[in-house]
Amino acid sequence: MSVLILAEELDISADHMVQALTEREVSVHRIDLAWFPSQLSIDAELRGDRWVGRLTTPHREIELEELRAIWYRSPATFQFPAQLSATDRQHSHIEAKLGLGGVLLSLPVLFVNNPSRQADAIYKPRQLCAAAQAGLRVPATLVASTKSAVRRFVAAQAGEVVTKMFGSNSITEEAGRKVAFTRRIAPADLADLDGIHLTAHQFQRMIDPKAHDARLVVIGDRQFGFAIHASTPEARLDFRYDYSALRYEPIDIPHDVAQGVSRLMSMLGLMFAATDFVVEPTGEWVFIGDLNPGGQYGWLEAETGVPLTACLADLLVQGAAP
Amino acid sequence: MVFIRSCLARGRGAWSHRLMTIAFTQPTGGDPLLPSTALLPLDAEGGSQTTRFASDPVASASGQFALCRPTVDVPVAEVPAETGVRPWGLRAMTAARPADLRLPAFRYDHVRQVAVLDDGSGRRLVDAVAGPPTAPTTQNVDGEDPPSSEDWKNDFVPDDPCPC
């Protein structure tokens, strides 16, 4: 019985997981799909209703029928020989994805997470809908590409409004990386919305007053809450702005929030996620539409000592149990 | 051209959709509209890919639904478009701050299945870096900013156009 970790070669959390699984005397295999096809090969044969065979690297053979759990951490994509033409590489990529990826997806194992569910879950508008349906509080939110919609939405809110990205908050431009964080909408913004029509933008009622941020890490049926206290105005608005201004502490999760998150995870088909909330001074938790099915947790574990790696390892071991 | 206006009323759990199809007028002297895929150069692997979903090694084909931002090999000297012809949401972009910590040279140890220092000592990378793997101790070596990094790596966003 073994666990397969799919992760890049540089992944500190995966390093810790290898150790945790080894300590639990579970056979663990770690591969990066970027090794395919140069350092990783597949030999899988359909027998009855399942694939049997192996994945092979220069250093190990991974019997598919031995696998009981797969931690889909965040592997890099396939890397093909440079001498292939662009057409050849595209063909090879698609065949590898549908072939190797298809075999992995059809294995009767515990996926943490199933990559398809993970990909489906990253749409924030979908997260907000699902969270509301699951009973979580969500802020009024607008997705729009017209100036009139933005002005209407902002005017309708009792308090301030923020804007933030649906996806990554960084771009590469002018020979460097640029970032943008959640920010308040000022009157000057509303006066000049040129470019709003070029794509979809997200606006959300700002949760104010705010006691602190909270990240809730879900691992199987267990949930871990962390208060994130920021000491600067910028970090209070978006804690990613300055990690040096943050302080963390484990906190209890209100029962209704825990239940709602459980329902949300079930609706999205996820076993693991890092979800972000704003906690009001009254103790009310508001889901702000940031559920990351591949979210980071290692830094919270390091800061607070909460054994997240061990919990995740136990979950994978359960999947690996005969 | 389709404008999308959707509003989520608090607690309702359903998007109120209003899709308006508006007659498209070609801007004077503007470039013709093209599918986003047509604007994309080949990616690092040589494939013309509209999203990182497509390059994800396992995610289902449904994950290629083109709602996410396109993966584009951006020339490092790319300059921002003028106001009005660039997405409004990009106006607040500012230069990322340099990383607080650079990792030492490392290699992947296929036997131990962890990263180790590339100095012959065999010491694990996780043991060699002082302090806990806090968010500011980013793994990036290309000027990546700490704010967008957590625990050595960004949160995994399948459609992150600039995965680190």
- Alpha-carbon dihedral sign for residues B35, B36, B40, B43: negative
Q: What is the DSSP string of A64-106?
A: GGGEEEEEE--PPPPB--TTS-HHHHHHHHHHHHHHHHHHHHT
Q: Taking the model in full, what pTM does it have?
A: 0.82
Predicted confidence (pLDDT) at residue B118 exceeds the cutoff of 70: yes
The question of ipTM being above 0.90 is answered as: no
SS3 per residue for chain B:
CEEEEEEECCCCCCEEEEEEECCCCCCCCCCCCCCHHHHCCCCCCCCCCCCHHHHCCCCCHHHHCCCCCCCCCCCCCCCCCCCCCCCHHHCCCEECCCCCCCCCCEEEECCCCEEEECCCCCCEHHHHCCCCCCCCCCCCCCCCCHHHCECCECCECCCCCCCC
CA nearest to A149, candidates A208, A205, A201? A201
Alpha carbon distance A15, B80 (integer Å): 39
Mark yes or no for CB contact A195/B91 under 8 Å: yes
Mark yes or no for CB contact B161/A168 under 8 Å: yes
Q: How many CB atoms lie within 10 A of CB B27?
A: 9
Rounded mean pLDDT, A102-108:
93
Residue with tokens 């690092």: B44
Mark yes or no for CB contact B161/A171 under 8 Å: yes
Predicted confidence (pLDDT) at residue A41 exceeds the cutoff of 90: yes
Q: How many CB atoms lie within 10 A of CB B58?
A: 26
CATH of the domain spanning A2-112, picked from 1.10.3470, 2.30.30, 1.10.287, 3.40.50: 3.40.50
Q: What is the DSSP string of A178-193?
A: EE---EEPPHHHHH--
Bigger pLDDT: A168 vs A118: A118
Bigger pLDDT: A155 vs B162: A155
Predicted confidence (pLDDT) at residue B41 exceeds the cutoff of 50: no
- pLDDT > 90 fraction of chain A, expressed in percent and rounded: 74
Mark yes or no for CB contact A89/B46 under 8 Å: yes
Residues 62-121 on B with a CB inside 8 Å of A are 62-63, 67-69, 74, 76-80, 83-96, 103, 106, 108, 110-115
What radius of gyration do chain B's Cα atoms show?
21
Q: Provide the token pair at A25.
A: 């005397």
- The order of strands in the sheet holding A212-219 is A246-251, A222-230, A212-219, A272-279, A285-292
Distance from CA of B15 to the nearest CA of A (A): 7
- On chain B, the residues whose CB falls within 8 A of the CB of A146 are 3, 5
Mark yes or no for CB contact A119/B63 under 8 Å: yes
* Mean residue pLDDT across chain A: 93
pLDDT of residue A83: 94
Which among A74, A131, A195 has the least Cβ separation from residue B88?
A: A195
Indicate the helix (H) or strand (E) that contains A109: none
Predicted confidence (pLDDT) at residue B19 exceeds the cutoff of 80: no
CATH of the domain spanning A208-313, picked from 3.30.2010.10, 3.40.50.300, 3.40.1080.10, 3.30.470.20: 3.30.470.20
Instruction: Categorize the per-residue pLDDT at B75 as very low, low, confident or very high, splitting at 50, 70 and 90.
Output: low
Predicted confidence (pLDDT) at residue A120 exceeds the cutoff of 80: yes
Residue of A nearest to B90 (CA): A180
Alpha carbon distance B68, B51 (integer Å): 7
Question: Over the stretch B62-73, which tens digit does the pLDDT of each residue have?
Answer: 554 333 333 344
- pLDDT > 90 fraction of chain B, expressed in percent and rounded: 10
Phi/psi for A112 (5° steps) reads -130, 90
Rounded mean pLDDT, A107-136:
92
Alpha carbon distance A212, B160 (integer Å): 27
- On chain A, the residues whose CB falls within 8 A of the CB of B50 are none
- The number of angstroms, rounded, from the C-alpha of A242 to the middle of its chain's C-alpha atoms is 20
Instruction: Categorize the per-residue pLDDT at B51 as very low, low, confident or very high, splitting at 50, 70 and 90.
Output: very low
Partners of A92 in the β-ladder: none
pLDDT of residue B138: 34
Mark yes or no for CB contact B93/A180 under 8 Å: yes
Question: Over the stretch A246-292, which tens digit does the pLDDT of each residue have?
Answer: 999 999 999 999 999 999 999 999 999 999 999 999 999 999 989 98
pLDDT of residue A305: 92
- On chain A, the residues whose CB falls within 8 A of the CB of B103 are 10
Give ∠ CA A286-A288-A292 in degrees, rounded to 5: 120
